[in-house]
A = this chain, B = another copy of it.
Amino acid sequence: MRAPKRDVAIIGVGTTKYGEHWNYSLKDLITEAGIKAIQDANIAGKDIELIVGGSMSSGMFVGQEHTGALFADYMGLNPMAAIRTEAACASSSVAMRVGVMAVASGMYDCVAVGGAEKMTDVYGSHAITTLAGAMDRENEAYFGLTFPGVYAMMARRHMHQYGTTREQLAMVAVKNHGNALYNPHAQYRRKISVDDVLKSQLVADPLRLLDCSPIADGAACIVIVSAESAKKYTDTPIYIRASAQASDTLGLYMRKDITTIGANVHAARHAYKMAGVTTKEIDLAEIHDCFTINEIISCEDLGFCKKGEGGKMVEDGETQIGGRIPVNTSGGLKAKGHPVGATGAGQLVELVEQLRGDSGKRQVKGAETGLAHNVGGSGSTSVIHILSRNRGKV
């Protein structure tokens, strides 16, 4: 994977609040986020030429496939072409990758990229059963494994191999809940303590309820254009400096080492090369904390600390706002919420707000460049985007 032949920039973002939206259908969520992004970009709907929308499991959740056409229809944008992407919890980061390709290919100049998931008040089976479609159904899910179980095994092994402590896992949740206090889009704006985490219900040993990201409804949307045209629309375009992706086995049981996610390591190497930056230039990161252990593992895999030191890094406060590399200023999946198909796009919305300097009390001062890391399943898909106020070499 190489850098696109034509640079791409973000000119507008929009998101719903994440949470249990009992009065909102999937269509309502998409429409709200889409209209907000179009308004933020200060364009008309008809200026958009293509829609790329991620949704993990709209079929199993609400009985609705064909959500690309659904987006176009309910946003009043027919006959615009519309594509749905799916890569489990990384569905909308993959949508962004397709959007980048669409603009870079010269086939489209202005693309709306986004994602949505309606996980409460659903059709068909239980959310946990549906989510297990992101793992190897035949060889894992049918035998009773669920995602808390997957990440519990990864946590247990990480604790065994590197001495990561139960308290360090809790500190990830405490930090992210602290950040979400200042995020109006977040599902849980409630401060918690390490003690709260340790006393919360055991889900899959060693993971407890407050180690787990919640079930949520939500949608997020981003408008992108070619970098050369971006200044026509806004004074503060945010440039997409890297869009990288890699895969690992679908099943956790196939991996040599479950304290690392191979796809993270590959995607990160490509992303830094594509953007022409190192971890030192990253001012903040949204990291896929579906369970607290994943923030720790992924910070290591992405090179924010040495392997095995992810727990210490959070304990030392390095990932707090004001720390060396603030992680999940939005509140992360843990506290902002995790409407799976929207999560990747939502991470990018957070970065754009931060890089524009619009994040209020959770603002990372002087943030120039940010990274978003979004995982599907147990890391079978890893997608990394690097955004910057600075276009880089042209």
Contacts and interface: CB of A to CB of B under 8 A. Distances in A.
Interface of A: 1-6, 25, 27, 49-50, 56-60, 62-70, 72-73, 77-88, 94, 97-98, 100-102, 104-108, 123-125, 130, 132-138, 141, 243-251, 254, 262-263, 266, 376-377, 380-381
Contact of A6 (B27, B105, B248, B262): B105
A313 to B, nearest CB: 25
Contacts of A97: 81, 83
Contacts of A78: 246-249, 262-263
Contacts of A84: 85-87, 94
15 contacts: A3-B106, A56-B65, A59-B60, A65-B134, A66-B250, A66-B376, A68-B87, A73-B254, A78-B262, A79-B246, A79-B266, A82-B87, A100-B105, A101-B104, A101-B105
Contacts of A50: 1
Copies in the complex: 2
A69 B105 contact: no
Interface centre among A1, A247, A249, A266 (most CB of B within 10 A): A247
Contact of A86 (B86, B141, B245): B86
A105 B104 contact: yes
A251 B69 CA distance: 10
B137 A69 contact: no
Contact of A83 (B59, B85, B263): B85
Nearest to A52: B98
A59 B1 contact: no
A239 to B, nearest CB: 16
A67 B379 CA distance: 14
List 10 tightest A-B contacts by C-beta distance, closest first.
A5-B106, A104-B105, A65-B133, A81-B245, A69-B380, A101-B101, A66-B88, A72-B247, A79-B246, A79-B266
Nearest to A130: B59
A63 B131 CA distance: 10
A101 B6 CA distance: 12
Contact of A247 (B59, B80, B248): B80
Most buried by B among A85, A123, A124, A134: A85
B107 A3 contact: yes
B79 A137 contact: no
Contact of A1 (B49, B60, B67, B248): B49
A133 B65 CA distance: 5
A42 to B, nearest CB: 23
A49 B245 CA distance: 11
